[in-house]
């Protein structure tokens, strides 16, 4: 009798929650070989990863590395690009390809010019707690338009990030 009164009843449940992807935001310490000077520059980095598929995501990052001298020169980069990663227990190795902008502050602070840059990097995130990740990364950049054939800095970054994902995603 009930089926005759309610012929539109269905046995499907609507999802109560869904995630678009995983997010982690971190900061790091960077050592760089600036390519135009034999000295090592040091500085800070900030990064964010958004993984929208089980092995694919995007990364955005900022680096600022300064000369050890007091001549006001530095390199600052803003990058965004694709990130491919795999998960092996607590280790998440990845490779990335980025495009961005590099600001070069010349010695003495008299000139600051910007250049388009391309970057490639490899690294690994290490899961040290449910929401805490530690990172080690190597990146090489290619700044186009820089005088004398371009600029190719190399960066080594060590960081720590907060991971916003739930425990079941991308295991």
pLDDT in tens, 89-138: 999 999 999 999 999 888 877 888 899 999 999 999 999 998 999 999 99
Q: What share of the chain is helix, strand, coil (3-state, %, to 5)?
A: 5, 60, 35
The whole-number pLDDT of residue 128 equals 96
Q: Which residues make Cβ contacts (< 8 Å) with residue 6, sequence separation at least 6? A: none
Whether the CB-CB separation of 135 and 160 falls below 8 Å is answered with yes
Alpha-carbon span 13 to 138, nearest angstrom: 46
Could you tell me the domains of the chain?
22-163 (2.40.160.20)
Residues of the chain with pLDDT under 50: 16-17, 168-171
Quick check: 81 and 56 in contact, CB under 8 A?
Answer: no
Task: Provide the phi-psi class of 130: left if phi over 0, else alpha when psi is between -120 and 50, else beta.
Answer: alpha
Do 159 and 47 touch, CB atoms closer than 8 A? yes
Q: Judging by beta carbons within 10 Å of its beta carbon (0-12, 13-18, 19+), is residue 101 exposed, middle or buried?
A: middle
pTM over cut 0.95: no
What's the gap between Cα 122 and its chain centre? Answer: 11
């Amino acid at each position: 009798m009930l089926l005759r009164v309610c012929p539109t009843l269905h046995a499907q449940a609507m999802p109560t929650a869904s995630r678009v992807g995983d997010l982690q935001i971190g900061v790091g310490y960077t050592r760089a070989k600036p390519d135009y000077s034999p000295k090592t520059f040091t500085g800070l980095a900030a990064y964010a990863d958004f993984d929208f598929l089980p092995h694919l995501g995007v990364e955005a990052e900022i680096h600022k590395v300064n000369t050890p001298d007091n001549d006001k020169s530095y390199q600052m980069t803003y990058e965004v690009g694709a990130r491919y990663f795999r998960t092996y227990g607590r280790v998440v190795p990845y490779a990335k390809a980025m495009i961005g902008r590099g600001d070069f502050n010349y010695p003495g602070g008299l000139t600051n010019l910007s250049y388009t840059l391309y970057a490639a990097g490899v690294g690994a995130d290490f899961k040290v707690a449910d929401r805490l990740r530690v990172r080690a990364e190597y990146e090489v950049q290619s700044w186009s338009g820089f005088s004398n054939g371009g600029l190719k800095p190399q960066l080594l970054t060590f960081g720590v990030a907060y991971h916003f994902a739930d425990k079941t995603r991308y295991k």
